């Protein structure tokens, strides 16, 4: 049976791990490669790097980080932040990433997703959807690290991205991100039901019960979390044991 | 020493470096393997072992191989005539089939009679691509490529298509995704994995180490 995944996310900026609340107020959480190594040893199912500065100048630093991590951690690696061309995807894959996550550029140019999927396969292309609730059962897509509204409905947009070739949707609730109030269950459920591809839930994990809850109640394929792991509050192993105890299939050990 | 050369075929498919690095790590425990990523058919012809990684669409990958003059001949010579150990990974395994049916019908290498078809899990809640860690069950538990692995060990899969061999006897391991899915095969000196050993942590590194020692 396919197991649900637990994915620690490292938000990186200038070669360091950072974690903010509601996409601002950044706090240094350490050397990304060191953290990656720890998560690998703890049995993480996958690692995510998100370059939150996503500056052109920082590109080399990010690629170097991916290379260093991939040389030591023999596990799937997703990298996002500032991916805006097929060449960016290629560079990440060559550096050792398995999946490139596309966010702002997909809104600007949806065909980028289909071109990248045709070139490298859908399994390499994750579309990151940052969604903010704007009404009863309505969520809007935001870009530029959550600063810019797009007018797009998050559920429709996720469906469209899957149709264009995204192999996975990384769904972040901006309302919950950094709040530690739990994942947005309603948003997650709606997107899972709308798309044929796997969905990763992100934003809001404050305790291990939140992870078990979103997995149990929405059918989401994976949970992503950052601060709950970075500051030593919980290990990956603890998270997985809590999820398993809730009766959800998860890979224990390594 | 040319006798220990392991050629990782570079035909424009992504993520060769992951396969290379994992083979390097797997070789650390006492193998004298020299891992070489190469697009040169001469190195493939000379290699003691050959690895064909693969990420992307079947037709694109096949076109990539065909695009290197002499590459398929060199693979044929080394693997099928000289009997050197061969490992195809993911699409690299799928290319062994007679035919791929991803975006149309495309001829494969035809080393394994069978076809590559889209995953159609019996359970509608299962998403395609299959992405993540799934358990292995062994069709031939005593095969040297599975040494040190246990049934129920997890491997990392990410694929929308799978290989259905005509002769089910080539199966080495299967996984369940709303029905049985071929996870690994071995036919004589030709082996392949649908999962990514280079991304499967301990389980994957062990399988690669087994491959580096394999004397089919």
Report the C-alpha gap between A74 and B56 in whole angstroms: 20
Q: According to the per-residue pLDDT averaged within each range, which of A31-45, A136-150, B174-188 is highest?
A: B174-188
Interface predicted TM-score (ipTM): 0.92
> What is the structure's pLDDT at B2?
44
Inter-chain touch B201–A75, beta carbons under 8 Å? yes
How confident is residue B1, by pLDDT bands cut at 50, 70 and 90? very low
A27 — pLDDT class (breaks 50, 70, 90) = low
Is A250 part of a structural domain of the chain? no
Question: Tell me, what's the pLDDT at A147?
Answer: 87
Active site residue A11: yes
What does the alpha-carbon distance between residue B158 and residue B197 come to, in Å, rounded to a whole number? 12
**Token match 């392991």: residue?**
B6
CA distance B203 to chain A (A): 8
Q: Phi and psi (nearest 5°) for A25? A: 60, 70
Answer yes or no: is A213 within a domain. yes
- Domain interval for residue A232: 5-245
Question: Is A236 part of the contact surface with chain B (CB cutoff 8 Å)?
Answer: no
| CATH number (domain holding residue A169) | 3.20.20.70
C-alpha–C-alpha distance, residues B149 and A42, integer Å:
20
Chain B residues near residue A221 by CB distance under 8 angstroms: 127, 131-132
Read off φ and ψ for residue A84, nearest 5 degrees.
Answer: -130, 0
- Taking CB atoms and an 8 Å limit, are A123 and B159 in contact across chains? yes
Measured CA angle at B56 (ends B54, B58), to 5 deg: 85
Catalytic residues of B: 90, 196, 198
**Any CB–CB contact under 8 A between B134 and chain A?**
yes
pLDDT, chain A, mean: 91
For B2-213, the fitting CATH number among 3.30.830.10, 3.40.640.10, 3.40.50.880, 3.30.1330.20 is 3.40.50.880
Determine which of A4, A79, A121 to mutate to test the interface with B (most B C-beta atoms within 10 Å): A121
The pLDDT value recorded for residue A247 is: 96
**Element holding A206 (H helix, E strand):** none
Give the start-to-end residue ranges of the domains of chain B: 2-213
A246 vs B145: CA distance, rounded Å: 35
Local confidence band at A23 (pLDDT 50, 70, 90 cut-offs): very low
In a domain, residue A31? The reply is yes
Q: Is the pLDDT of residue B94 over 50?
A: yes
Into how many domains does chain A fold? 1
Write the pLDDT tens digit of every residue in A176-201: 998 889 999 999 999 999 999 999 99
């Amino acid at each position: 049976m396919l197991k649900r995944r637990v994915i620690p996310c490292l938000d990186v900026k200038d070669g360091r791990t950072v974690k903010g609340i509601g996409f601002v107020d950044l706090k240094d959480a350490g050397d990304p490669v060191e953290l990656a190594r720890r998560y690998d040893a703890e049995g993480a199912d996958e690692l995510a790097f998100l370059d939150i500065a996503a500056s052109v100048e920082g590109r080399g630093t990010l690629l170097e980080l991916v290379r260093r991590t991939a040389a030591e951690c023999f596990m799937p690696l997703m990298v996002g932040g500032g991916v805006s061309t097929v060449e960016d995807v290629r560079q990440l894959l060559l550096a050792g990433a398995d999946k490139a996550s596309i966010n702002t550029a997909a809104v600007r140019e949806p065909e980028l997703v289909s071109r990248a999927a045709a070139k490298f396969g859908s399994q390499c292309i994750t579309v990151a959807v940052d969604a903010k609730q704007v009404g009863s059962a309505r969520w809007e897509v935001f870009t530029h690290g959550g600063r810019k509204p797009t007018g797009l409905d998050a559920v429709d947009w996720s469906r469209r991205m899957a149709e264009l070739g995204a192999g996975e949707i990384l769904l972040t609730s901006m309302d919950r991100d950094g709040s530690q109030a739990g994942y947005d269950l309603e948003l997650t459920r709606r997107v899972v039901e709308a798309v044929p591809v796997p969905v990763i839930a992100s934003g809001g994990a404050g305790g291990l019960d939140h992870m078990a809850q979103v997995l149990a109640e929405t059918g989401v394929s994976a949970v992503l979390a950052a601060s709950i792991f970075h500051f030593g509050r919980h290990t990956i192993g603890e998270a997985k044991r809590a999820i398993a105890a809730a009766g959800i299939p998860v890979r224990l050990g390594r | 020493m040319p006798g220990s050369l392991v050629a990782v075929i570079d035909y424009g498919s992504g993520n060769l470096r992951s396969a290379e690095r994992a083979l390097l790590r797997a070789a650390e425990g006492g193998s004298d393997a020299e891992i070489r990523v190469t697009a040169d058919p001469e190195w493939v012809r000379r290699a003691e072992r050959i690895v064909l990684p693969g990420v992307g669409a079947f037709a694109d990958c096949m076109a990539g191989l065909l695009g290197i003059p002499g590459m398929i001949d060199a693979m044929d010579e080394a693997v099928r005539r000289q009997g050197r150990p061969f490992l195809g990974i993911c699409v690299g395994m799928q290319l062994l089939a007679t035919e791929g049916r991803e975006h149309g019908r495309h001829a494969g290498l035809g080393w394994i009679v069978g076809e590559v078809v889209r995953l159609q899990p019996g359970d509608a809640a299962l998403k395609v691509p299959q992405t993540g860690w799934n358990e292995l069950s062994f069709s031939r538990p005593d095969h040297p490529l599975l040494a040190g692995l246990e049934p129920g060990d997890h491997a990392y899969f990410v694929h929308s298509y799978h290989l259905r061999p005509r002769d089910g006897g080539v199966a080495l391991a299967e996984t369940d995704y709303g029905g049985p899915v071929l996870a690994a095969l071995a036919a004589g000196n030709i082996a392949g994995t649908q999962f990514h050993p280079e991304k499967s942590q301990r389980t994957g590194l062990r399988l690669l180490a087994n491959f580096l020692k394999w004397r089919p």
